[in-house]
Amino acid sequence: MQQATSHLTLLQGQMPGNNGGDVETLLTPDTARNLGVTVGSHLALNLNIYAANSNPNGSPINQTITLHLLVSGLIKVTPGDIVWHGNDFQPVAQGAQEYSDTLLVSNEALLAALDQAASALHTDAVFTSQPFTLTWNYHLNVATLTTDQLHVFMGALGRLQGDVAHMSGNIQNNQPVTGITSFPYLLQVAISDSVAGTFDLPDILTRYASRVDVIAIPIFILSVLIIGLMLYFVSLIAHLLVDRQADAIAVLRSRGASSRQIFNAMVMQSVVLGLIALVIGPLLALIAAALLASHNLAPTGQDALTYFTGHLWDALVSVGWYALATAAAAILALIIALRYAVGMNIHALRQESTRAAHRPIWQRLRLDVVAIVIAFAGYFISLYVNSTQNVSATRSIVLFSSPLTLITPLFLVIGCILLLLRLYPCFCS
């Protein structure tokens, strides 16, 4: 009854208590009007019960007991509340002059009355013509459920469903004889969703996992693009740092410093910078992600921020490998650039600055033309896939169109940039 308090509205009277006398009950105003009672009225409910006979060959004991009920209050329940499993406690017409009325009493009071009847009959259990239904409600803690746990959770639900079906199959073999069953006095065990008789939760989670797998494709492509651009930016900055110090390296070489001395000093500098970036980078990334999410996510999706705020260490560890790879790429790019720079002296530097530059490899391979061709090919393929949405499954369209939608503009931008770099000397001359 304590749990039921938050799922009903008390219109008149008070909640049932344990007064040691009559069983206190709650009614809706329509039910009270149909029974002709008010708050404080008494009801006598005749209940026909059965009990096992101490003589195995004897017939079951049949007796009628009277439950004395006291109307303690009038209530109203919210339609559709899953706690009541579709029961609104309103009277239901069974015929022209007959109604079926539903009353709400506490578990303890009803079980105490049945225990008294069982004690009077010197038996362990009593039965009625209609079996009782015992319902246990379990709620999923979706706040702690992540997409990585979906398949494990669906497997656990499948095992639970199998165990319940196996248990129910064993119980089905224990059919009652003349209304009497043996311990544990069960006729059927079933698992269902909030709608009785159905168990669609595994199918719902399967469809959700399928959507997650589909969404993972564009997320993976975006991640690869971001990581590629990030590594390119890191290598570019590394080469710029080495080019900035090329004059100082050439001067040191001309004044007697060995290549190994300069190389070790520069590598140590790059390692220190990489370690600093490894420590600061993940923290700045989490702060930036939290700020962007708070400004761009809808109010219903703000709970995703709890992954950062509530599990800060896990979030740092999850991006630790990316930060480590970026720092390693920066150090490697500096080392590659330094291997060329430390061999230069003043004379070699002057020759390098006056020598005509070679054509880069992307110009020799015509990668700008290749990128533009790939972009236009992806665009036309995407148009064709989207035009077949009436004859193709939506999942297939998403699987093909999402990568093309992300890859096409990327290759177009890369191709245009490379083409501009190819034509830039012509404009300058």
Distances (CA, A) of 188 to 128, 131, 175, 276: 16, 10, 10, 65
Per-residue pLDDT at 391:
46
**Residue 412 contacts residue 371 (beta carbons within 8 Å):** yes
Structure confidence by residue, pLDDT tens digits, 243-280 = 777 777 777 767 777 777 777 877 787 788 788 888 88
Residue 211: CB atoms within 10 Å: 12
Token reading at 198 = 């159905």
Structure confidence by residue, pLDDT tens digits, 109-150 = 888 888 988 888 888 888 888 778 888 888 777 767 777 788
367 versus 399: the higher-pLDDT residue is: 367
31 versus 340: the higher-pLDDT residue is: 31
Cis status of the peptide bond prior to 409, with omega within 30 of 0? no
Long-range contacts formed by 240-245: CB under 8 A, 24+ apart? 241/334, 241/337, 242/266, 242/334, 242/337, 242/338, 242/341, 243/337, 243/341, 245/341
State the chain's mean pLDDT as an integer.
78
Long-range contacts formed by 243-252: CB under 8 A, 24+ apart? 243/337, 243/341, 245/341, 246/341, 246/344, 246/349, 247/349, 249/341, 249/342, 249/344, 250/344, 250/345, 250/346, 250/348, 250/349, 251/346
Per-residue pLDDT at 71:
93
What would the mean pLDDT of 307-332 be, rounded to a whole number?
77
Per-residue pLDDT at 11:
92
Structure confidence by residue, pLDDT tens digits, 45-66 = 898 888 888 777 777 888 888 8
What would the mean pLDDT of 219-233 be, rounded to a whole number?
75
What would the mean pLDDT of 214-236 be, rounded to a whole number?
75
